[in-house]
Structure 1
Amino acid sequence: MSAFDPGWESDGVRVRGALAEPSSPARDQRAQRDAERRAAIVAIAKDSFLDKGYEATTMSEIAKTLGGSKGTLWNHFSSKEELLRAVFDTVASAFPGCMATILVTQRDIREVLTRFCETFITRISDPQAIGFQRLVIAQADRIPEIARIFFNGAPALDRAMLTDFVGRQMTAGLLRSEAPAHAAGMLLDLCVGGYHNRILYGFDTFDADRAASEATRVVDQFMHCYCAIPDVS
């Protein structure tokens, strides 16, 4: 087969319409350095956003903390908005996999939902998460794009995964058959609206035992509304 065919492969190199150069240790090392530098930029930006807020954080200060030329920063991120999106993506990236694992288990639905809610409440109530939520709330009116970036990250993924799980339980006859998205939204709102809100507004601090108790209370209320069979627990 010609080396110019779209599906041709040689020595692990995939060619699409043109002859590709094989990978080299030097190119791999450059890619690794770029990835490490990008991660360092995101880490610096995350600390600055949390300590100073969005508006007070500047690309120049991030470049100064990073060291080297400003061009290095701009080569990776063309704007502060793009950098904020990368920070949110990095912070959120560890969570969807964990939440998805909880929701695919074959355990009792009440047990699954309680574990999901406890994990969710714990996650949104740790100091870093609280810091980002306060940042978003403080800037949402003046810079709506910040709220959009934040909401389209982990919150939207959590809602989509939970909606899928609830829909499957409705199909199986374990939950009353209604709009899955509405039911999932109700459960998440219950998680956010109680103990977590007290932490968010500074009236309380996080405690793992209270998070577990709150998760049980939330699921009790949810199952009272949506359980398709008599709930004797």
Structure 2
Amino acid sequence: MARRGDTLREHILEVAKNAFLESGFERTSMDALAVRAETSKRSLYAHFPTKDALFLAVIDRVHDLFRGRMRTPDHYAGDPAEATALFCGRFLQMLGWAPVLQTCRMGITEAERLPEAAAQLHEVFFGATTDRLAAYLSDQYGLDAAEGATLAARLLGMTVYPTFPRALFGIGELRDNVPDEASIEADVDMTVIRRATASALLRRRDGNAAG
């Protein structure tokens, strides 16, 4: 039975996502995508008038998938410090997943030609995650928005970003399978993350006490 309407659109997005990851943006043609999606070029262009438009729609899809797998800090533990540490650990775990790294690299490659797409990809993986952590910290520790954002950036700077560039440049082993939330402790060094989290939260508390 032929796919139509929203069902076809979702199918095209999934096919395009996989094709872009496998071959990159430049080497993926709309002709090839139509064949791979088992639809006509006319139907493909009816949903996505240009390859750029399709790429941006794929980024929106990746955003939804990534948010669903990251969840929010309160999902991980009842204790705020532990929830924060595990959220940071999950973020680092997800950034070590091959499709995420490949998508980041593709965004960097296309940044000059498609700055809007590159900016959206940055928001998908980094901006939205930082915002979620900032909102949680603000709620748990009675911070205003600016203080929460500053603390979130500091925490991620201490726990995630020192390691991520190594993976981005292909140093270390990537995970081909979807990272299992239950294996955070096995996949990342939670001892280091908990120590850094405790230090950052202690500095915040001491700073408030001094003020």
Q: TM-score under structure 1 normalisation?
A: 0.72
The equivalent of 2:188 in structure 1 is 211
Among 68, 81, 103, the alignment partner of 1:132 is: 103
**Alpha-carbon distance in 2 for matches of 1:55, 1:152:** 22
Amino acid of the structure 2 residue aligned with 1:53: G
Q: Secondary structure at the match of 2:103?
A: helix
Distance in 1, Cα, partners of 2:174 & 2:31: 35
| CA–CA separation in structure 1 for the residues paired with 2:62 and 2:107 | 14
**What amino acid sits opposite 1:194 in the alignment?**
P
Partner deviation per Cα, 1:70-105 (whole Å, 9 max, x = no partner): 111011112222211222222231343454443367
Q: 1:225 maps to which residue?
A: 203
Residue in 2 that maps onto 1:87: 58
When the two structures are superposed, what TM-score results if normalisation uses the length of structure 2? 0.78
Match of 1:70 in 2: 41
Partners in 1 of 2:113 and 2:131 — Cα distance? 28
Q: 1:84 to 1:190 in 2, by over 3 A?
A: farther
Report the CA distance shift for 1:126/1:111 in structure 2 as closer, same or farther (over 3 A).
same
Q: Structure 2: 5+ residue runs without aligned partners?
A: 176-183
2:137 to 166, 179, 190: 166
Task: In structure 2, give the amino acid aligned to 1:215.
Answer: I
Amino acid at match of 1:91: V
1:200 alignment partner, one of 163, 168, 171? 168
For the aligned residues, what is the CA RMSD? 3.0
Aligned-pair CA distance for 1:116: 0.6
User: Among residues 43, 58, 65, which one is paired with 2:29 in the alignment?
Assistant: 58
SS in 2 for 1:194: coil
Please tell me whether the aligned partners of residues 103 and 162 of structure 1 are also in contact (alpha carbons under 8 angstroms). Answer: no
Bigger Cα Rg: 1
Are the equivalent residues in 2 in contact too, given 1:103–1:165 (CA < 8 A)?
yes
| Percent of aligned pairs with the same amino acid | 26
Comparing 124-133 and 152-161, the one that deviates more: 152-161
2:94: which partner in 1?
A: 123
1:14-38 CA deviation, whole Å, 9 max, x = no partner? xxxxxxxxxxxxxxx99x8423211
| Cα distance change of structure 1 residues 87 and 189 upon mapping to structure 2, 3 Å threshold | farther
Larger relative CO (CA 8 A, sep 6+): 1 or 2? Answer: 2
C-alpha distance in 2 between matches for 1:76 and 1:130: 27
CA distance in structure 2 between the partners assigned to 1:202 and 1:145 by the alignment: 25
Report the number of matched residues: 197
Gaps of 5+ in 1: 1-28
> In structure 1, the residue corresponding to 2:162 is in which secondary structure?
helix
3-state SS of 2:26 partner:
coil
- Go from structure 1 to structure 2 and tell me whether the alpha carbon gap of 1:70 and 1:97 turns closer, same or farther (over 3 Å shift): closer
> Shift of residue 67 of structure 1?
2.6
